[in-house]
Amino acid sequence: MYKGFWLAVALVVSSVVAQAQERVVHVYNWSDYIDPKALSDFTRETGIKVIYDTYDSNETLETKLLAGNTGYDIVVPGATFLSRQIKAGIYQKLDRARLPNAKGLWPDVMQRMAVYDPGNEHALPYMWYTTGIAYDVKKAQQRLPGRVIDSWDIVFQPETLKAFASCGVYFIDSPEDVLTSAMRWLKIDPNSRKAEDIKKAADAVLRVKPSIKKFHSSEYINALANGDICLALGWAGDSFQARNRAKEAGNGVEIDYVIPKEGSLMSMDALAIPKDAPHLTEAYAFLDYLLRPDVAARNSDAIQYANGVIASKPFMDKSVLENRAIYPAPDVMSRLFTVNANDLTTQRLITREWTRVKTGR
Ligand code: N2P
């Protein structure tokens, strides 16, 4: 009996000691959005273990954040969602003194981010990118011989998209991206919040829906790379990841991505710390690590997204830096549009319209 008692005490004490010693940071990020080796290197350098979970939609992240008590130390919302979430009081203000690598941040990107986070008080830019068209080069040639894939007509004109239906079309499951792209194609201001304009955009997607196999925001990377689909409305970085995966597989699939000539949505994702983050010191250590120029560069190289650290450019792979669909040239840049944050009422309307697109009801 005594033996059992002391054994129990020893077990409790050792687990308390282990807990005190084990330093962790709980990160919730988009899928396919970091170099996995950067995580293990961080742990090797700092002794801090990274508990890493992923999602592929802002809506998923927001639902969790609004419910509270997520246990997450770092999350990565899109900028428009960030803006609304800051107003909802979800995030803490960042202490710049704990982020020495913030000196390498890109002033232009910071300025764009300040539209959503006034004074850049609550968030740091992670990656920025466009929404456009990813396609299988050979299959596109077979289906539309001689046609240059350079316009939103390809996805929003029912007869054109139909040409791709037999080899598989996915759209990302993101109303912000898909509806504003449709608005641009319809020549409606993507920042219009009029219910009739949002409905017109949803109707445009419904007209091409018979040709869409699936709405999904992460499966399209492998689906493109494997040749399971031949066209996707999606994000640039993911599309180039698909291209690289196909190349590595040596399966003969050739993927390209285009920013349509009508212009496309430019978005940013932000790094932020929820108010109730349980591991604040570790959160700062991880944030500052992500801002380190060589780390930001390796992440961009791995995921094919432009990051917010200008000091990372000298460390980056030339193929990423010189990819004009990742770092667009000034003339293309001027055709990109950004969108403002939605208030809750508009967000609800968008969610309703998006449900109508996906379910027909
Ligand atoms: C990563 C997607 C990130 C861009 N797969 C959308 N926030």
- Sketch out the chain's domains with CATH numbers: 2-128+267-327 (3.40.190.10), 129-266+338-359 (3.40.190.10)
Region of poorest pLDDT, from 11-20, 65-74, 98-107, 274-283? 11-20
pLDDT of res. 2? 54
The pLDDT tens digits of the residues spanning 255-296 come to 999 999 999 999 999 999 999 999 999 999 999 999 999 999
What is the best residue among 33, 57, 116 to mutate for testing ligand 1's pocket, by most ligand atoms within 8 Å of CB? 33
Atom index in ligand 1 nearest the CA of residue 218 equals 5
- If you average pLDDT over residues 106-133, what whole number do you get? 98
Instruction: Tell me the CA–centroid distance for residue 217 and ligand 1, in Å.
Output: 8
Tokens of 187: 């020549």
Query: If you take atom 4 of ligand 1, which residue's CA is the nearest one?
Result: 235
pLDDT of res. 149? 98
- If you average pLDDT over residues 58-62, what whole number do you get? 97
Asked if pLDDT for residue 39 goes beyond 90, the answer is yes
Please tell me the number of Cα atoms within 13 Å of 217 on its side-chain side: 17
Instruction: Tell me the CA–centroid distance for residue 342 and ligand 1, in Å.
Output: 19
pLDDT of res. 361? 87
pLDDT of res. 333? 94
Q: Which residues are CB-contacts of 136 (< 8 A; sequence separation ≥ 6)?
A: 167, 224, 227, 229, 230, 231, 253, 254, 255
pLDDT of res. 216? 98
Instruction: Tell me the CA–centroid distance for residue 33 and ligand 1, in Å.
Output: 7
% of the chain exceeding 90 in pLDDT: 93
pLDDT of res. 6? 53
Tokens of 156: 């929003």
pLDDT of res. 4? 60
Asked if pLDDT for residue 9 goes beyond 60, the answer is no
pLDDT of res. 269? 98
What is the best residue among 34, 35, 128, 129 to mutate for testing ligand 1's pocket, by most ligand atoms within 8 Å of CB? 129
The pLDDT tens digits of the residues spanning 190-218 come to 999 999 999 999 999 999 999 999 999 99
What is the best residue among 269, 300, 307 to mutate for testing ligand 1's pocket, by most ligand atoms within 8 Å of CB? 269
Q: Of 187, 294, 167, 177, which Cα lies nearest the Cα of 235? A: 177
Atom index in ligand 1 nearest the CA of residue 174 equals 6
Q: How far apart are CA 221 and CA 223, in angstroms?
A: 6
Query: Within 6 Å (CB) of ligand 1, which residues are found?
Result: 30-33, 78, 218, 235, 238, 269
More confident residue, 6 or 243: 243
